[in-house]
Amino acid sequence: MALKATPSTAKQTIVLGAGIVGVSIAWHLAQRGRQVLLLDRRPPGQETSFGNAGIIQREAIAPYAFPRDVKTILKVLPNRRIDIRYRPTGMVAAANPLFSYWLNSLPYRYRKIVPEYGSIIALCTDEHDPMIQAANAQHLVQKKGWLQLYRTRAAFDKAMQEGEQARTMGAEWEALTRTDIDHLQPGLSSAITGAIHWQNSWTVQSPGELVQAYARHAESLGVVFAEAELRGITPAGSGWHVTTSEGDHSADEVVVALGPWSQQYLAPLGYAFPLFVKRGYHMHYHQPQAKHEALNYWLMDSEKGYLLEPMKHGIRLTTGAELANLEAPPSYSQLDAAEREARKLFAIGERADPTPWKGARPCLPDMKPIIGAAPKHRGLWLAFGHGHQGFTLGPPTGRLLAEMMTGEPTTIDMQPFRAERFR
């Protein structure tokens, strides 16, 4: 069916994907008078947007680079680390993108990528804020920052050096002594010797609920949500035809914001973007019973490679990255290893979930998302590949793509994010 006509003859847009990126795009388009259908196989915020660490990372101006030094690579090879694991089948399947990722991590290339990537990160809290206010979701958000913990002086010193670059791009932070750490978060292992307190990053007690709140407000603006399995996208005259398990839809324009599933729906249209995934796992644990012993801050055990987050439903432990095929069966060894280390760091309680959660981060070899028009088709727009920062970058992406679609001047230079760079 076509979207319902309106007296203003508003342009009709279908947004595919109801994660935080798709919801944010729908929200911004509705604000600009577009008639929007938001389509996903699950309700808003139930896939990757649900299971992340819940940090709006204003400090994350530098994306995760591929390790360059032989020492680090040799440490990864035994496949026992918490921050990175790999499946041989996943490495083979993603060999070309991973090689490009390695090349783009060369120092001279990476130095160019950082300010480009940092330009969109710099928008994150300013763009989340009006959506939080409009959705009446202030109760889910804390603005006291988070703690990045260090065990060795060498790692701490290196982090402070890198922090100076983040400071030049607007990140606010303070170096903490062990006494400072104990004041903010008692009960941590004596192995922790220092920390960086990232002060102007925000934390979210239930990331999925925040996306749902954004989606409810988008619906109040006129966005229509349809739950269905996507079957295909095809050009139809001057517009687009979208086939689903629950019927067909037509619109003037289509936005593909399907995260790690984006490429499989674009391939029939002749696109071959080098998308690969870094999967991740989480589990919730009960808080200590005594209130004065509770986890109060989001914590990253930097030299081990996991995070602990005091979520609405308990302490969430999130793992590092697993390089594997998108639909490969789960392997919980990385999570189990993280749990063993986390229990040494802090007195987390028993597991609170029946099974671990698994999700996938959609990644591109130059560490930047694709945001903009599809090169080969008029009226087809793309927004995916946000890597580790989809939750942070959803609202900035929503604004920027809406600006591009409506012909407004864009808030930042969008050339570094255009799809044409992968031709």
Whether 417 shows a pLDDT value over 60: the answer reads yes
Cα–chain center distance at 352: 24
In order, the DSSP letters of 203-241 are EES-HHHHHHHHHHHHHHTT-EEEE--EEEEEEETTEEE
Could you tell me the residue range of the domain that residue 109 belongs to?
1-61+105-139+206-274+367-423
Element (H or E) spanning 416, and its range?
none
Work out whether strand 380-384 and strand 253-256 pair parallel, antiparallel, or are unpaired: parallel
Residue 98 lies in a domain: no
Residues 379 and 414 placed together within one structural domain of the fold: yes
Of 363, 382, 402, the last residue of a domain is: 363
Residues 311 and 191 placed together within one structural domain of the fold: yes
> Which residue shows structure tokens 């995760």?
64
CATH number at residue 14: 3.50.50.60
Question: What is the dihedral angle through the alpha carbons of 35, 40, 44, 48, rounded to the nearest 10 degrees?
Answer: -130
Residues 191 and 227 placed together within one structural domain of the fold: no
Nearest Cα residue to 38 out of 223, 163, 311: 223
Residues 268 and 356 placed together within one structural domain of the fold: no
CA distances (Å), origin 374, targets 180, 319, 366, 378, 383:
50, 33, 18, 7, 10
- Per residue in 353-377, pLDDT (tens digit) is 999 999 999 999 999 999 999 999 9
Residue 186 lies in a domain: yes
* Structure token digits, residue 73: 């690579």
- Per residue in 185-234, pLDDT (tens digit) is 999 999 999 999 999 999 999 999 999 999 999 999 999 999 999 999 99
Is the distance from CB of 397 to CB of 24 less than 8 angstroms? yes
Mapped onto helix, strand or coil, the DSSP state of residue 329 is: coil
* Reduced 3-state DSSP string for 27-44: HHHHHCCCEEEEEECCCC
Is pTM beyond 0.85? Reply is: yes
Residues 180 and 309 placed together within one structural domain of the fold: yes
Residues 224 and 312 placed together within one structural domain of the fold: no
Residue 422's identity, in one-letter code, is F
Cα–Cα distance for residue pair 271/275, rounded to 1 Å? 11
Residue 80 burial (10 A CB sphere; 0-12, 13-18, 19+): exposed
Cα–Cα distance for residue pair 38/44, rounded to 1 Å? 9
Maximum separation of any 2 CA atoms in the chain, in Å: 67
Residues 49 and 72 placed together within one structural domain of the fold: no
pLDDT score for 7: 36
- Per residue in 86-117, pLDDT (tens digit) is 999 999 999 999 999 999 999 999 999 999 99
Total domains in the chain come to 2
- Per residue in 227-283, pLDDT (tens digit) is 999 999 999 999 999 999 999 999 999 999 999 999 999 999 999 999 999 999 999
Of 329, 346, 363, the last residue of a domain is: 363
High-pLDDT (> 70) share of the chain, %: 98
Residue 18 lies in a domain: yes
Whether 6 shows a pLDDT value over 60: the answer reads no
Cα–Cα distance for residue pair 398/414, rounded to 1 Å? 13
400: Cβ contacts below 8 Å, ≥ 6 apart: 120, 371, 410, 411, 412, 414, 417
Whether 8 shows a pLDDT value over 90: the answer reads no
CATH number at residue 190: 3.30.9.10
Of 317, 333, 363, the last residue of a domain is: 363
Residue 99 lies in a domain: no
125: Cβ contacts below 8 Å, ≥ 6 apart: 56, 58, 200, 201, 202
As a whole number, the mean pLDDT across the chain is 96
pLDDT score for 287: 95
Cα–chain center distance at 336: 23
Nearest Cα residue to 115 out of 55, 65, 165: 165
Question: pLDDT band at residue 10, thresholds of 50, 70 and 90?
Answer: low
Intra-chain end-to-end CA distance of the chain, in Å: 34
Cα–Cα distance for residue pair 267/287, rounded to 1 Å? 46
Residues 79 and 210 placed together within one structural domain of the fold: no
Residues 145 and 197 placed together within one structural domain of the fold: yes
pLDDT score for 3: 47
